Amino acid sequence: MTDSQVDCVIVGGGLAGGLIALALQRARPEFRIRLIEAGRRVGGNHRWSWFDSDLSDEGRALLSAFRQTDWQSGYEVRFPKYRRNLKTTYGSMASPDFHEGIMRELPKGSVILGRKAVGLDARGVDLGSSQYGPAERITARSVIDCRSFKPSSHLNGGWQVFLGRHIRLDKPHKVVRPVIMDATVDQLAPHGNDGSYRFVYVLPLGAHEVFIEDTYYADDPLLDRGALSGRIDQYTRAQGWQDGLPVHHEAGVLPVLTGGNFSAYQDEVRIPGVAIAGARGGFTHPLTSYTMCVAVENALAIAQEADLSGGQLAAFFDARARRHWKNTGYYRLLARLLFFAAKPEMRVKVFQRFYSLREGLIERFYAARSTVFDKARVLCGEPPVAIHSAFMAMFKSGPALKSEKSDTARAQAAIDDELL
C-alpha cells in the first residue's frame, strides 16, 4: 500500500464534490487537492439546470469554467388550463462538460477516477485496489465526504423518478425556449393505474437537438425504464420528432423529503472529523430536489474557510446542514400537502396553481429563499386540495426512505454503465 499526503481530499466527484474542488483550487492554488471518484468520469451521468436568479456573481464566476447552455428568452410551463412564458434566464449543463471543465481546471494528478474509497476518517482516505491502481492511503489535513444521498429510516418522503433522452433530429424542432413542465400529458403512473404527478421536461440544445425527460412524483421509487422510454417515444411522435437519433440517456430517482429526524440521520452518516457536503449532508431542496444553488454556495463557503482544520470544517458543515434543514421546513410542509392531501391523479392541480403566481415568487421558491409573504401567498387563496385533507397532511410524516438496494438503483447503474 502506498501513502501520500495532501491538504484536502474530497470523496465523491459529483456536482458538490467537483465544485468544491474547483472553488478550493481557485481560492488556494497552493493547496494539494485530491478529488476521488469511483466512476470513470467526474459528474456521473446527469444534467443540471438552474435559474440565473439562483446564483450570485461569485456563483456565476465559478460556473464559468464549464460549457453550458442558457436561454435568455426564459422558459415555458404547460398545464391543462393554461400555458405561460416566464422571463428568467434559464441555464443547463451536461455531465460530460462538467467532467471536461474539472479535468481542465484542476492540476494534473488532482483527480483520481475509477477508485473506490473503502474507508474515511479524520486523517485521510483508504482506496481499494482496482485496475487503475493498487490499494492506497491518502492522508490529509481535511476530508470532505461528497458521496451520494444515503436513504435512511430516519428520513421520510416520496420520490421523484425520471428518465431523459437527448436526441438529434434531421429537421429543426422549432422549440425556442425550455419547457420545464409540460403537465398536459397523461397523469397515470407508468407501472399501473395509480395516479402520480407527471410532466415532461424539454430543453432545445440546438436547432436539431433536444433533450426530453419524463418525470413524475410518486409514492414509491420504482423506475420502469421500458415504460418511461415508451412514454418518451409517444411524446416525440406527438411532436413530430419520431425520426430522432438518440445521443444520450440518463435516469434517476431522487428523494422528496416530507419530514424525519435530521439529527438522527446526521448521527447515522457522520464520520468523526469528516465534513459532509452534497446530498448526503442533506443539502438539497426537499420538494424539487434542486441542488445547483446550494452546491455552489457550499463550494464558495468551503473556499472561504479553507484554513480550518478537518475537525473544525466538519463542525462548520454539520451546523450548516442543521440550519439548512431548519430553513427548508416550509418546503417539507408543501411536500406533505402534495403527497398526503392531494389524490395522486389530482397533484397536477397543485403545480398548476403554483405556476400562476408571480414570477419572482417562483424563482425564490426554487432557490429555497421564499419570503414570509411568498410562503403565505402559496398557501392562501383557492386551495387545490380539500381543507380537511390539508390539515391532516400537516401532521403526517410519510413512509421512511429506507436503505435498500432496489430495482431503481440497478436500473440507473445499468444506464450509467451503458453510456460510460
Taking the C-alpha atoms of residue 43 and residue 19, their distance in angstroms, rounded to an integer, is 10
In 3D, which of 398, 338, 392, 332 has the Cα closest to residue 195? 338
Helix pair angle (262-269, 310-327), 10° resolution: 150
Domains belonging to the chain, first-starting first, are 2-69+93-152+259-327 (3.50.50.60)
Residue by residue, pLDDT tens for the chain (420 residues) are 445 689 999 999 999 999 999 999 999 999 999 999 999 999 999 999 999 999 999 999 999 999 999 999 999 999 999 999 999 999 999 999 999 999 999 999 999 999 999 999 999 999 998 887 888 999 999 999 999 998 899 999 988 999 999 999 999 999 999 999 999 998 866 655 455 789 999 999 999 999 999 998 887 888 889 989 999 999 999 999 987 899 989 999 999 999 999 999 999 999 999 999 999 999 999 999 999 999 999 999 999 999 999 999 999 999 999 999 999 999 999 888 888 877 777 788 889 999 999 999 999 999 999 999 999 999 887 655 555 565 566 667 778 887 544 444 444 443 343 333
CB of 31 within 8 A of CB of 107?
Answer: no
- Segments of 261-340 assigned E as strands: 275-276
Taking the C-alpha atoms of residue 114 and residue 417, their distance in angstroms, rounded to an integer, is 13
